Each structure stands twice: as C-alpha cells, then as structure tokens.
C-alpha cells in the first residue's frame, strides 16, 4: 500500500482543481520505480490513468496507481510534499530503502543488497 501526507494530498488535489478536472474523472498519481541513478533505482511520480494490471490505492481523496513491478519496491511508502531553501517537491518516504545517494534522487532496497552480496561473493 502507498499513502499520502495531508500536504501532498492538498497539492495533488489543488492541481486537479486548477485543471478543472472532476475528482471522479481525474487521473491518479502514479508512483513508479525505474532503474537508474547512482544507487540503482529512481522514483517516478506522474499523473496517469490506471492500466489493467495496476494496483490502485485511495488516500485522502487521491487515487494512487502503482504497477506490479514497482509495488515490491514502494509498498509501505508515504508520498510527502516538502518545501525548503533548496526547492519544493514531492518526496517518497520508503521504509524499504537501505541506501540512498547523497542527493536523495536514487535508492537501493534490501533485495538488491542481498543480490549484490551474492554476486560479489
């Protein structure tokens, strides 16, 4: 399951309101993982339509869409929205992460740690 913080839900709903998209016909927020970055994986967040094999979670009035391959990496995550001197944007707080790069844009999970240990040993 993937959830949102209150502020993240407010930001997504504000975007839908600005687009004059009714909530019942609005696309969802896709939370996906792709290979890349210095630690192995990167998050992709995008407004998207549901596909046949997607898992859909409803939280705070927002549909969260996750494909099956990404779900194993983001299950239990919370999508947040943060503002700082460095900028503002969405951030995924993922309990499955065992390592992340210094810039915070890529991550590695435990399964990858075990695979790397097996491959090198």
**Count: domains in the chain:** 1
More confident residue, 80 or 38: 80
Which structural domain, as residue segments, surrounds residue 107?
Answer: 3-120
Percent of the chain with pLDDT over 90: 41
β-strand partners of 79: 4, 92
The mean pLDDT value for 60-82 works out to: 93
Average per-residue pLDDT in the chain? 81
Cα 101 to Cα 40: distance, rounded to the nearest angstrom: 9
Cα atoms in the 13 Å half-sphere on the side-chain side of 70: 24
Structural contact between residues 66 and 54, judged by C-beta atoms closer than 8 angstroms: yes
pTM score, two decimals? 0.76
39: pLDDT confidence band, cut at 50, 70 and 90? Answer: low
More confident residue, 27 or 25: 27
The reported pLDDT for the residue numbered 101 is 60
Percent of the chain with pLDDT over 70: 74
Cα 55 to Cα 19: distance, rounded to the nearest angstrom: 25
Q: Is residue 121's pLDDT more than 90?
A: no
The reported pLDDT for the residue numbered 20 is 72
Q: Residue 43 maps to which CATH number?
A: 2.60.300.12
């Amino acid at each position: 399951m993937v959830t949102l913080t209150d502020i993240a839900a407010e930001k997504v709903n504000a975007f839908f309101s600005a687009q004059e998209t009714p909530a019942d016909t609005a696309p969802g927020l896709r939370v996906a993982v792709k290979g890349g970055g210095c630690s192995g994986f990167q998050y992709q967040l995008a407004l998207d339509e549901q596909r046949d094999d997607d898992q859909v979670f409803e939280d705070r009035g927002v549909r969260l869409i996750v494909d099956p391959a990404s779900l194993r990496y983001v299950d239990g995550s919370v999508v947040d929205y943060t503002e700082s001197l460095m900028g503002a944007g969405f951030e995924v707080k993922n309990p499955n992460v065992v390592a992340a790069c210094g810039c915070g844009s890529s991550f590695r999970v435990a399964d990858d740690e075990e695979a790397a240990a097996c491959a090198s040993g």
